[in-house]
Amino acid sequence: MYRIEKDSMGQFEVPEEAYYGVQTCRALRNFPVSGRKENPGFIRAYLIVKKAAAFTNMELGVLDRERGEAIVQAADEILACLEAEYSSQFPVDVFQAGAGTSFNMNTNEVLANRALEILGRKRGDYAYLSPNDHVNMSQSTNDTFPTASHIAIIFAADKLAGVLYGLAGAFRLKGEEFAGIPKSGRTHLMDAVPVTLGAEFNAYASALQRAAGRIKERREDLLEIAVGGTATGTGANTPPGYRKAVVAKISELCSLPFRPASDSFEALQSRAQLAAFSGALRELGIELIRIANDLRLLNAGPTTGISEIELPQVQPGSSIMPGKYNPVMAECLDMIGFQIIGNDTTVALASQAGQLELNVMTPVITFNILMSVSLLTNYLPVFQKSCIEGIRVHEDRCRAYLELNPILVTFLTPKIGYLKAAELAKEALEKKVPVAEVAVMEGVLSKEEADELLKIENLLKKD
């Protein structure tokens, strides 16, 4: 069954049961691209913007109470039951009309038709309550889409922050657990002066905390929102005081200190704030890849690799080799990191693609950022629990590698000089014996001196 709706291009058949309307149906026909719909967090953010606009328009006297309160009630109902009842009412593909007009109108139509029902009228009775004239009053896609993007990304970022600090804390606990375990350092993947396993894990924790801090800094920039600028930044078709009032209402609804854009023209032209936030996610992705690869290296073995640590065995690693277990959790983290870097590349290209008064590529920017945050928020707690918290150390192997490390000769250079030390290192490597033993054999040091100078516990001291 269908109802007939009309827009500026003519009539269109709309499914009778649908709350969306004619312009949504045109978008479904025009953009059957990926099958991916907008993130629920973004839909919620857009509904908040629409609710705030309706309140503000009523307060400023440009929208009557009957229609305005019906729009607010419709928004509240959909926010309360989005996943359960209304998710199918937002079917527009994330790859859609530039700037997000299709999704803005999708939201306007759903709110309009539900508000009409609340008022005892039929869906599609736009002569009485219009998606454009009433739900979209004092608004444009051009200012509401980036505003909703900022809101959704801030909420998503706040969830990610807790996850990131949790993962950093798990690495820090392992750092404390492994604090007394000496091992060979490695630079250029070659033996270097010793460290502790705990120091390595504490460094991973610090890197994650630093990355989380960068995300937090760039999240703060998103508190500046474009709403009120309407089509080009001039605020066309808004009543006096609208911009300040609607931002205050959004702040109230979100319990966040949003502020009007310092330059409303820039707020429509530039997506630099979103690009910077995406860049922070990219920086995090790079660190996660590096850490995951370190864990894979340290776990490599069990008999022919470094094998200083053992990552938890969570599933069989081969369909043909019995008893094989792979570092699958770290491998999955690598893939997520690669995807985040790819998403950021898309964001960068889309951010520079704005022209004159508007960047029309905001939909793909928002989609990719929210995807990246979602991947991290979903997976990092699993990675923490199923990988990091269960890491075990092969302390005997760490010790054995360290005792045969020829680079320990570095600690003799203040006494015997660089060139003589290099000779001892070469001999120790050739004979596969500890440096201390070679130094005593060559008469360079007494056994007592060698034991004292090359005592592992002394080598790890630092100011």
Tell whether the torsion through CA atoms of 40, 46, 50 and 51 is positive or negative. positive
Query: Which pair of tokens denotes residue 286?
Result: 């790079």
DSSP label at 86?
I
Upper half-sphere CA count for residue 115 (Cβ side, 13 Å): 28
Residue 30, C-beta contacts closer than 8 angstroms, at least 6 positions apart: 97, 102
Of 34, 37, 44, residue with least CA distance to 75: 44
CB-based contacts of 417, cutoff 8 Å, min separation 6: none
Catalytically active residues are 318
Going by DSSP bridges, is the β-strand pair 190-196/224-225 parallel, antiparallel, or unpaired?
A: unpaired
Q: Which amino acid is at 263?
A: D
